[in-house]
A = this chain, B = another copy of it.
Amino acid sequence: MTISLLAKELGLSVATVSKALRDSHEISTETKLKVAELAKKLNYVPNLYASSLRRKNSKTIAVVLPEVADSFFSLAINGIEEVAQEKGYHVLIYLTHEQFTREEAILNEFKNGRVDGVLLSVSGERPSGNQLQELVEAGIPVVFFDRIFEDIAAARIITDDFESGYMAAKHLLDRGCRQISFLSPAKNLSIISKRQEGYLQALKDAEGPEMTPDIIYCPEDNGQCHNTMNTMLSNAVRPDGVIVSVEKLTAPVYMACKTLKLNIPKDIKIISFTNLQTAPILDPPLTTITQPAFEMGKKAALTLFKGIEKKHYNWASENTVIPSVLVERQSTSVDLEL
């Protein structure tokens, strides 16, 4: 929808429509209302900021995230804000709650020049990248961090999810586990798929008899998730090792072990993908794959400002992988005296 189409539809000149939208005293109230009505009906977003002498003057960047309840994102935000504050920019945080329709609506907002650049960690429900492609084509700098959309050519700051999944499974194998389950959230996320591929590859590469992969999907609903965990852990062939692929499934799996009186790490070893500050004080302390959250946020913001300041012609081909780190604690220990 452009202003010319709006003008054509109304049988008015572009200048008149433009003035009406800007509430000019030269235009009658009747005309203004007519224009406003059709603009609303046709979902026309006036390019308010762009009209302000075509300067990039919002001094604002947007951070679009699935959620903030995960410690990865709250730490990443701190990294982003450290850079933005130095540059004198505001940071707007938008949450998609993993819903594609919300993500599309948010990205659509940015086309009117509300922000100078966008940092995006994509939602789990992305069927197409149309809005994103349009943003990139409109010249608004976009940087992906952590969760990317493969089909869009934009800068990417990620961690090594395949390698981390491999490393987690290898760690459990080295600690003697022979029946390793991979706990996955219900949503289809590219980073989880990669962690899962790493897990599958590690099982394949392991010496000795072939191991059967066991991928368990935990429903969003707390009660159902609890049931899924209980079923998994009460089975005749229950896992002796579990890879928890997202932070929020950690507490439920610990709780289920407690209820079923399974000793961690004696009966079952657990490793989680998380940046939880409480990992060392859990019962028992939790072995984690810790992501470089703060560093990723910082690097993503630095890359975005390269794009905003147009100082580097090739900023958009930035593709940085910052590795995650395995922090070993008692939940995967073989020595119970640890």
Provide the residues of chain B in CB contact with A53, threshold 8 Å: 21, 23, 32, 36
B280 x A281 contact (CB < 8 A): no
Q: Does A320 contact B (CB under 8 A)?
A: no
Number of copies: 2
Provide the bound-state CA to CA distance between A52 and B17, in Å.
Answer: 12
Q: Does A78 contact B (CB under 8 A)?
A: yes
Provide the residues of chain B in CB contact with A281, threshold 8 Å: 250-251, 254-255, 258, 282-283
Q: Does A92 contact B (CB under 8 A)?
A: yes
Q: Does A90 contact B (CB under 8 A)?
A: yes
Contact among B74, B95, B278, B282 for A69, CB-based, below 8 A: B74
Minimum distance in angstroms from A219 CB to a CB of chain B: 17
Q: Which of A15, A48, A92, A255 has the most CB of B within 10 A?
A: A92
A97 x B74 contact (CB < 8 A): no
Q: Does A100 contact B (CB under 8 A)?
A: no
B278 x A282 contact (CB < 8 A): yes
Q: Mark A89-102, 1 if CB is under 8 A from B, else 0.
A: 01111110100001
Q: Mark A240-270, 1 if CB is under 8 A from B, else 0.
A: 0000000010110011001000000000000
Contact among B25, B248, B282 for A283, CB-based, below 8 A: B282
Q: Does A284 contact B (CB under 8 A)?
A: yes
Q: Does A215 contact B (CB under 8 A)?
A: no
Provide the bound-state CA to CA distance between A53 and B23, in Å.
Answer: 5
* A58-113 at interface with B (beta carbon < 8 Å): 67-69, 71, 73-75, 77-78, 81, 85, 90-95, 97, 102, 105-106, 109
B92 x A93 contact (CB < 8 A): yes
28 A-B residue pairs with Cβ-Cβ distance under 8 Å, sorted by A, are A21-B53, A22-B52, A23-B54, A32-B53, A36-B53, A46-B52, A68-B74, A68-B77, A68-B93, A69-B75, A69-B78, A77-B95, A81-B95, A90-B105, A90-B106, A92-B92, A93-B93, A93-B94, A93-B95, A250-B278, A251-B278, A251-B280, A255-B280, A255-B281, A278-B278, A278-B282, A282-B283, A283-B284
Q: Which 6 A-B pairs have the closest CB atoms?
A: A283-B283, A93-B93, A254-B281, A69-B74, A68-B68, A48-B48
By a beta-carbon cutoff of 8 Å, the part of chain A in contact with chain B is 15, 21-23, 25, 32, 36, 46, 48-49, 51-55, 67-69, 71, 73-75, 77-78, 81, 85, 90-95, 97, 102, 105-106, 109, 248, 250-251, 254-255, 258, 276-278, 280-285
9 additional contacts, CB 8 Å, given A68-B68, A68-B77, A69-B78?
Answer: A36-B53, A67-B74, A74-B74, A81-B95, A92-B92, A251-B280, A255-B280, A255-B281, A282-B282
